[in-house]
Chains A and B, each alone.
Chain A
């Protein structure tokens, strides 16, 4: 994925993990356990895809998770899943926008 390094270098990004939809790790950078994060992201995405199918709200584009210690944006990009981990003190919307813009380039 050519956008991966660009996303990993975005301001406020502390780590990034790229996996396929089965959870197999493709690429990672930063202070993240890539294998665990890749599997967890894929499993979580599967759950929210199911939710979308039941609700009839179209395809899943991304999932953002925010907590006091961590924040991440998990974006679906073709057959891959990109997890971008950021500083939870920073607004997640800005990271979502930057990730989206980079993926659409």
Chain B
């Protein structure tokens, strides 16, 4: 793995390369010393968080390129294939303006082919906290590669980031005009593809979305749409389905206090 990541680092403009899973757990890295394991752990968690939302619209994403004022981040999906554990990986490159995107594209494809060969049938190990040097591998069990495995990365460097949807600025979202705009008329199919039984049910759904937004931010609308489809099972949403909807929506809130607050606020809508 070290050789593969080093080959990517050798590209002009590449300052770091790392391999993580879809939960943001770091498996290997080769980067400039300013990008230590703690920092890369934060980055991989934030990337995983962003990819979770991308997958709502594009489950089969292949490449993500984030262009910054002073750099670029390339993220490539390494499909699970026949690998043990079955979870996909992400290969990320931190680059500056000197990067040649065409060369990088070729090098990444080559690297992914090698990574696939390397990890097929062989479990990967997570990077140990506080380990020095590059492409460090800690000896852990095959279960560590499972998407549900508990991360061994942690400590102060990881604080503040979660693999789930972070509620940063959620209150601001909830009070900034968020509305269920597609749900205006009785028994109609909205622009969002969600049907409502009547105006009261529409208003109820709008209020419920705002309550949820306080905990999960702008993803509230998406979660509500998905929950309505599950709870209403093809029928227009009506206010009588609210308790089932709230129960379903609660699953999207990781923080128990936030979930309780959402439940309390939603109860007032009944």
**Which residues of A does B touch, CB under 8 Å?**
20, 22-25, 33-40, 42-44, 46-48, 50-52, 54-70, 72, 93, 96
Contact = CB atoms under 8 A, between A and B. Distances in A.
A40 B56 contact: yes
B10 interface: no
B156 interface: no
A27 to B, nearest CB: 12
Interface residues of B, number: 54
B218 A22 contact: yes
8 contacts: A23-B178, A24-B177, A25-B181, A39-B219, A43-B219, A48-B47, A57-B69, A66-B61
Nearest to A57: B71
A52 B68 contact: yes
Contacts of A93: 101
A40 B209 CA distance: 15
Nearest to A36: B222
Nearest to B74: A64
B50 to A, nearest CB: 3
Q: Which of B57, B58, B161 has its CB near the most chain A CB atoms (within 10 A)?
A: B57
Contacts of B124: none
B106 to A, nearest CB: 15
Given A33-B193, A36-B225, A57-B68, A51 B43 contact: yes
B49 interface: yes
Contacts of B35: 55
A67 B63 CA distance: 7
B47 A51 contact: yes
A40 B57 CA distance: 8
Contact of B47 (A35, A47, A62, A66): A47
